[in-house]
Amino acid sequence: MNSFLNSISNLFTVSATPAQDCDDRYLAESVDIYDLERRMRQVDSGQHYLYAVGTSGAFMR
């Protein structure tokens, strides 16, 4: 029963990774200066979260 409650609790646990680290990783994945500038504009406007899709197809932050 305890492991079941831990599993449910883990579903609602907030990620320990701060938003700044996520933004930095997103910017580091840029392939050239133009891609970096585009990504920087998206981060500044808050739009890059709309486009961040994980390998499983789930939206990630």
pTM of the predicted structure, to 2 decimals: 0.52
Contacts of 39 (CB under 8 A, 6+ apart): 26, 27, 29, 30, 48
Is-contact 27 40, C-beta < 8 A?
Answer: yes
| Confidence band of 32 (pLDDT split at 50, 70, 90) | very high
| For residue 34, pLDDT beyond 90 | yes
The reported pLDDT for the residue numbered 61 is 47
Average pLDDT over residues 43-47: 82
Q: Which residue has the higher pLDDT, 44 or 8?
A: 44
Q: Please determine, for residue 8, whether its predicted confidence score (pLDDT) is greater than 80.
A: no
